[in-house]
Amino acid sequence: MTRRPPVLVGALLAGSVVLTGCLSLPESGPVVEVGGDAFNDEPASLSYLPAPPARGATPSSIVDGFLDAMTAIPSQMTSARAYLTEEAQASWEPSRETWVYTDDDEPVLRTRRLAQVTLNGNYRLDERGVFTGVKERHLLEFQLAQEDGEWRIADAPDALIVGRQWAADNLRTVQLYYLDPTGEILIPEPVTVASGAQFVNALMTSLVSGPGPALGQVARNYLRVDQGADVIVDPDGIADVSLDGGPELTAREAELASIQLAWTLRQEESVRGIRLTADGEALTGLSRDIQLGEGAEYDPAAFSATTDVFALRDGLLVGGDLDDLTPVQGPFGTRAYGLSDIGLSLDSTRVAGVDDSRRSVLVTETHETGAPVGPVLSDATRLLKPAWDFADRLWLVDRTSSGARITVVVGDRRRTMVVRGVTGEQVTHFLVSRDGSRFVAVVSDRANGGGDRLMAARIRYDERGALLSATRAQELPWPIPQETPRFLDLVWQSPTTFSVIYPAQGNVVQVRTLSVDGAPNVVTIPSATLTGDYRWLVGSPEPGTPLLAATPGSFTDVSRTDRSESETDIKLSTLTYTG
């Protein structure tokens, strides 16, 4: 049984959001006042006030009514609390967690005071809206008691419990923006928060909470507060953000805090600018309003990155527009070095080439004629395609006889990097985010008759940008439980999503886009089904760049609805954007 409030379903669907997860809807936190017509895009008819408990209702009806009451629009927990005993009302904290289910069974009364409900397709998020995992089947138990002759729930889980359709209609997936430990690039963290009039409130609540202790030395928050943050959006769209009880910020810290705010709050269309104060006073160096376009140089897709593509043609490195690729001026564009794969630094000034034996990596300049060509690794077993991040760190993965070995090259120094859950495993592909904070790998179980697993880890640095360590890689849940995919390739699609290509059946392949946090149902472009010998993807986290699927002799832009196949003489297995 999937519960639906009696609202205009067609209108709700028209305004729905493709969902990664959902956030516990806050009952406390920042005070948000919205002036003018800031949220008039939400029709007044989209409301639902659940019925209170009926007199003489059975325990099963009380449980069913309680679950339905959590689907109030706009969201409020007063209706749901009416189904609880007085003691349970005082202790129930639904903001602690969110459970979203695909469908549920009718409540079943197991004893006179115990009712059970089975939730299917259940996934969960914490109080900030961060995805925490999937529990496909969950038996939910409710203890009941009688008060004044009426049944009420005496023990309810501290969670907002809603169906996926309600969540899709009333919640919104966004990014919270923090800084890397050096303060040089933004680190986006996906969350899902309440949409509509509660959006700015929920967004600020999650943002000032920080990235959490698990991301210490991965992402840094400059909006540190002790007592919260108030937000008032005036009729002109200026968001007046007041930090309460936080530490005094230096001019540099205030600047970085303003960039966090600009990138985070510009996801609300009604906001035109931001005014930031702390304890009623303007922050040092911030006497002016913050413009939403500020901080472009901190773009997590990398401000310095070019949108050119590069490939090998007749052994030479070519680059530029896809329909006008010409040899680069550097050594790889004037002489064939026997390369089988390439990786370009984000500004395209440096290139790493894996030789045909896949045992060595050569690095040189792309724009300097006669630049030196030097090996940075020459004793590998079978190297995968190289990757670069914004700090010109070169990431290499070698498929040795004992499993994957990860090497990071910075200048003339090399370091072996251990990522538990990836190092020593059979890795077939990997990605490093341009901000340097994320490592994603395909770990193969094919030798044991299985498929592939997607593993994701976070990378830690100190304040000088020195590499410290990595978190243990976590397996990202595959959104279709019935499938055992074997991935042919994967590429970044945005700073927090990546696309994979895998065989479906026969000569049919599927392209799907997933979230780096593993939250289900994240698709930034429609999934594509292609017929042919497609083996590779070519993609970039830069907005608006095409996502290409390639065969040995042709490619197709799968980000377009009017797809057509284009033939080319370049070596398509090497076609790549920078990074």
Domain residue extents for the chain: 9-170, 238-296, 299-379, 381-475, 482-579
Task: Give the pLDDT band (50/70/90) at residue 287.
Answer: low
Query: Could you give the CA distance from residue 245 to residue 321 in angstroms, rounded to a whole number?
Result: 51
The pLDDT of residue 34:
31
Instruction: Say what the pLDDT of residue 288 is.
Output: 66
Q: Which is more confident, 146 or 28?
A: 146
Distance CA 538, CA 254 (A): 38
Mean of the pLDDT values across residues 109-130? 90
pLDDT for residue 2 is more than 60:
no
The whole-number pLDDT of residue 74 equals: 85
Instruction: Output the CA–CA distances (angstroms, integers) from residue 182 to 253, 391, 490, in the order listed.
Output: 12, 11, 28
d(CA 179, CA 441) in angstroms, rounded, equals 24
Angle, CA 434 vertex, CA 430 and CA 437 arms, to 5°: 75
- Residue 216 and residue 184 in contact, taking contact as beta carbons nearer than 8 Å: no
Overall average pLDDT of the 522-551 stretch: 87
Q: How confident is the model at residue 161 (pLDDT cuts 50, 70, 90)?
A: very high
Query: Which residue did the predictor score with more confidence, 5 or 555?
Result: 555
User: What pLDDT, on a 0 to 100 scale, did the predictor assign at position 10?
Assistant: 28
In the predicted structure, residue 470 carries a pLDDT above the cut 80: yes
C-alpha to C-alpha distance for 291 and 311, rounded to whole angstroms: 39
Q: What letter represents residue 211's amino acid? A: P
For residues 447 and 263, the model is more confident at 263
- The pLDDT of residue 226 is 66
Cα–Cα distance list, 235 to 238, 293, 529 (Å): 7, 20, 46
* Tokens 């059979």, residue located: 426
Render pLDDT for 366-408 as a digit per residue (tens, 0 to 9).
999 999 999 999 999 999 999 999 999 999 999 999 999 999 9
pLDDT at 291: 85
Identify whether the C-beta of residue 457 lies closer than 8 Å to the C-beta of residue 472: yes
Give the confidence band of 25 by pLDDT, cuts at 50, 70, 90. Answer: very low
> Kind of pairing, strands 413-417 and 403-410?
antiparallel
d(C-alpha 451, C-alpha 1), whole Å: 33
Q: What's the mean pLDDT in 6-10? A: 31
Taking CA atoms, 488 is separated from 340, 402, 503, in Å, by 17, 22, 8
CA 267-268-269 angle, to 5 degrees, is 110
CB neighbour burial string for 419-447, b if at least 16 within 10 angstroms, e if fewer? bebbbebebbbbbbbbbbbbbbbbbbeee
Residue 525 has pLDDT above 70, yes or no: no
Quick check: 273 and 255 in contact, CB under 8 A?
no
- The pLDDT score that the predictor gives to residue 308 is 95
Question: pTM surpassing 0.85?
Answer: yes
- Higher-scoring residue by pLDDT: 282, 575: 575
pLDDT band at 107 (very low <50, low <70, confident <90, very high): confident
The H-assigned helical ranges of 58-163 are 59-69, 78-81, 86-91
pLDDT of amino acid 33: 33
Residue 72 one-letter amino acid: A
pLDDT in tens, 314-367: 999 999 999 999 999 999 999 999 999 999 999 999 999 999 999 999 999 999
